[in-house]
Structure 1
Amino acid sequence: MSVRMVVASGSAGRAEKSVDRRKFLVRGGLAAGAAAAFPAPAIAQGIRELKLVTSWPKGLPGLGTSAERIGRTIAAASGNRLQVKVFGAGEMVSAFEAFDAVAAGVADMYHSAEYYWEAKSPGFSFFAAVPFGLTADEMAAWIHFGGGQALWDELSASYGVKGLLSTNTGVQMGGWFTKEVQGPESYRGLRYRMPGLGGEVLRRLGSVVVALPGGEIIPALQSGAIDAGEWVGPWNDLVLGLHKVSKYYYYPGFHEPGTVLSTGINKKLWDSLTGEDRNLITMVAAAEYTTSLAEFNANNAKALEQITNDKSVEIRKFDDSLLMALGKASRDIVAEIGQKDAMTRRIYDSFSAFRNRTARWAELAERGFLNARHIALSGSTKGQP
């Protein structure tokens, strides 16, 4: 059964998607070759084969392995009626082509971060990470119980995609730097790898922001093409080897307080599934969100110990004056982005209202407890870790 047609509203939308698909298939020959090598999913003897492309190197712990676990769990939960083949970045399409591949029907699913699609609509960033935004738990609460999923569905459907929360990396670190940074003036001219709205904030402070896939960060730091770069957190950063090419490791990660990675599914394919299979995939994604967050938190704690014991690395906290400057720039940037178009404005309004509502509870509950635990276990009222 072919799923190479995509959903669009109106004849003009269908024509636009058709043109976009043709451009995608012929660009560079990569996607076209992949399309020929991996035919569209077929139903044979009750088995449906699905292709899942990712934005991560094949087998990368945390990011890549989460996508592979999603594939295995879907197969197991469906009694192998739905079989998922996972492709790392570059195996079928490049890291930043995953969305276009799924929208065009060249691939069936992707595992990636929605802020990579911000050029299509700034609204996508709100479903990945917003500077000084929502934590992992708060993101899940907004999506599932604050109206976020309905807005996400409306936005993604216009591109022929259905999006689901499926992975969360937790609070991220501020990044690796080849030189010290102090106040806001340190960011002027700083060449920094950072995607999404966080990158826009850095531009506002005078940085030169570079968008690079994870696999290209280390060569860029080694060559001096960039002065700093962030990836995820201690676990994935160690795996990537960032501690070998940078001396200073800064926190906190203002830009990504609870980064969502999504499973996007071709909308035509999604609509062709039975209600049972749609529920199955939805539940697998929800379970993986919890599992992945637990995995990241456990392994980040272990990796932090290793980094702390590495005498060649210095862990530093961003200066308060810098955090204040980042906060002001973040408020301005997010508010401006939120007014770009009617759809993004609705997403921004919903996100902001939910953040304001949940912030009070987080102060009383989460921060209240964390402060109390620190005092109880350390015997000190100082808040530094």
Structure 2
Amino acid sequence: MRRRDVLTGAGTAAATSSFPSPAIAQGVRQLTMVTDWPEGPGVLPSARRLAQTVADASNGRITINVTASGAVVRPFETFDAVQSGVADMFHSHIGYFVEKSPAFHFYSGLPFGMTAKELFAWVRFGGGQELWDELSARFDIKPLLCSSTGIQMGGWFRKEIASIEDINGLRYRMAEPGAEVYRRLGATVVVVPGADIMLSLRSGAIDACEWLGPWLDMEMGLHEVASFYYYPAWHEPGTALTLGINRRVWESLEETDRQLIKVAAAGEYAVSLAEFDTNNARALVRLHQESEVKFRRFDDEMLKTFAEISRSVVAEAGSTDALSQKIHTSYRDFRETAKGWSDVGEGTYLNVRDVG
């Protein structure tokens, strides 16, 4: 999207008058953050908590004004706003912006991909950040992992999905690249902003959807309009969110301040993951005890079909150019290495934790 399209979007007056990008007054750096998150618990508070951490750690020298989805630019226009300099940084799901590069998928959540812990390990210690920096530099963005919703659920359905054939003709809200898997199975897949999911499901505009997990799914009220809740979340096993900073703004910061923001983002990744794990566990208990929701596990044959198509979808995301191929290879190799330890370590322990 072109810069003038951003400037003529919703909230233009606020964007042009309130965002000097960045302002510097009496030694205080005032930055602006646009997000793709509606008001409510979970994700937007994580963005605000990150901003507060930066302000506290800098003793107020760096302040970040965080805005909800639609307050300054329209949903899903946050990347363009930061690239063009309308805003200084965004907090979003980088997978929303794969029209820029399909390789962004590797930094959000891939079908049958890495868990939240494995993804963070790859980015921090497996070469993922360096490749991400190279990719994002094409768009004048400095990217950092900044939040994690952890493992999700397989989605809400208004009717039971007894076989893979039942997906054909389904109208489903899902983010890419899992959406492409369903699309190849005959579903009509759309991505609507989080704030519009409930209305779309209630009105019948969609037949099924996925959002984040038991905690925020219940907060949205999805259990009131859909009866079947499926697992596992093969499409997003460890969803990460991105802090994207305008590169000129990033490079104008002192090295100590850049390090401060890196540490704050990494800390918020861990804190948000702990928060989601805690509240998802509690919400799952409530769903079992207080609702009529029917929990269903995708059967093995369906999961095999999902996995087979996913391999093709992921390979295509990692084949658009030489850099995408490097990212795909790095991700794939690290996943295989991490999988060995995850299976032997935590995986085996979880299987025997309640023995005896």
Question: TM range, normalised to the smaller chain?
Answer: over 0.9
- Residue in structure 2 matched with residue 46 of structure 1 by the alignment: 27
Matched, 1:97 2:80: no
Other-structure match for 1:297: 277
Residue 328 of structure 1: how far off its partner (Å): 0.5
- The number of equivalent residue pairs is 356
Asked if 1:205 corresponds to 2:185, the answer is yes
**Aligned Cα RMSD in Å?**
1.3
Shift of 1:25: 2.0
> How far 1:32 moved relative to its partner?
5.8
Q: Which amino acid is the alignment partner of residue 39 of structure 1?
A: P
Instruction: Measure the CA separation in 2 of the matches of 1:29 and 1:70.
Output: 25
Match of 1:34 among 10, 15, 31: 15
Percentage of matched positions with identical amino acids:
50
Equivalent residue in structure 2 for 1:356, among 330, 336, 356 = 336
Taking the aligned partners of 1:23 and 1:242, their CA distance within structure 2 comes to 33
Deviations 1:221-252 (A, max 9, x none): 11111110000001111111111111111111
- Cα deviation, residue 36, structure 1: 2.7
Q: Does 1:223 align with 2:203?
A: yes
Equivalent residue letter for 1:144 = R
Task: Find the residue that maps to 1:173 and give its secondary structure.
Answer: coil
Q: Would you say 1:25 and 2:4 are equivalent positions?
A: no
**Residue correspondence of structure 1 range 103-182 to structure 2 within 5 A:** 103-182=83-162
Structure 1 CA distance for aligned equivalents of residues 148 and 18 of structure 2: 32
2:214 alignment counterpart: 234
Task: Supply the AA of the counterpart residue of 2:17.
Answer: A
Equivalent residue for 2:167? Answer: 187
Structure 1, residues 282-306: CA drift from partner, whole Å, max 9, x if none? 0000000111111100110000011
User: How far apart are 1:362 and its partner, in Å?
Assistant: 1.3
Does 2:61 match 1:88? Answer: no
* Distance verdict in 2 for CA 1:295–1:186, change over 3 Å: same
Whole-angstrom CA distance in 2 between matches of 1:192 and 1:87: 28
The alpha carbon displacement at 1:102 in A equals 0.8
Give the residue type in structure 2 aligned to 1:47.
V
The CA distance in 2 between the partners of 1:182 and 1:324, in whole Å, is 15
**Rounded Cα–Cα distance in structure 2 between residues aligned with 1:244 and 1:360:** 40
Aligned to 2:286: 306
Query: Cα distance, 1:29 vs. partner?
Result: 5.5
Q: Secondary structure at the match of 1:309?
A: helix
Task: Work out whether residues 179 and 248 of structure 1, in 8 Å CA contact, stay in contact via their aligned partners in 2.
Answer: yes
- Please name the residue that 2:229 is paired with: 249
CA 1:310–1:119 in 2, change beyond 3 Å: closer, same or farther? Answer: same
Given the superposition, is the C-alpha separation of residues 371 and 256 from structure 1 closer, same or farther in structure 2, using an over 3 Å criterion?
same
Q: Residue 367 of structure 1: CA displacement? A: 1.2
Alignment-derived partner of residue 330 in structure 1: 310
CA contact (8 A) 1:31 1:106 kept: no
CA shift, 1:33, in A, is 4.9
Please give the TM-score of this superposition, normalised by the length of structure 1.
Answer: 0.90
Counterparts of 1:190 and 1:29 in 2: how far apart (Å)? 32
* Structure 1 letter corresponding to 2:31: L
**Which of these residues, 45, 65, 70, is aligned with residue 65 of structure 1?**
45
Query: What SS does the corresponding residue of 2:72 show, helix, strand or coil?
Result: coil
Contact 2:82–2:88 under 8 Å retained in 1: yes
Measure, in 2, the Cα distance between the counterparts of 1:33 and 1:298: 36
1:37 deviation in Å?
Answer: 3.6
Task: Name segments (4+ residues, structure 1) moved above 4 Å.
Answer: none
Gaps of 5+ in 1: 1-18, 380-385
2:263 to 283, 290, 299: 283
Residue 353 of structure 2: SS of its match in structure 1?
A: helix
Alpha-carbon offset, residue 22 of structure 1: 3.2
Aligned partner of residue 195 in structure 1, secondary structure: coil
**3-state SS of the aligned residue for 2:77?**
helix
1:58-106, Cα deviation, whole Å (9 max, x unpaired): 2x21101100100111000000000111100011112201111111111
Quote the Cα distance in structure 2 between the aligned partners of 1:315 and 1:43.
53
> TM-score of the superposition, structure 2-length normalised?
0.97
How far apart, CA to CA, are the structure 1 residues paired with 2:48 and 2:316? Answer: 37
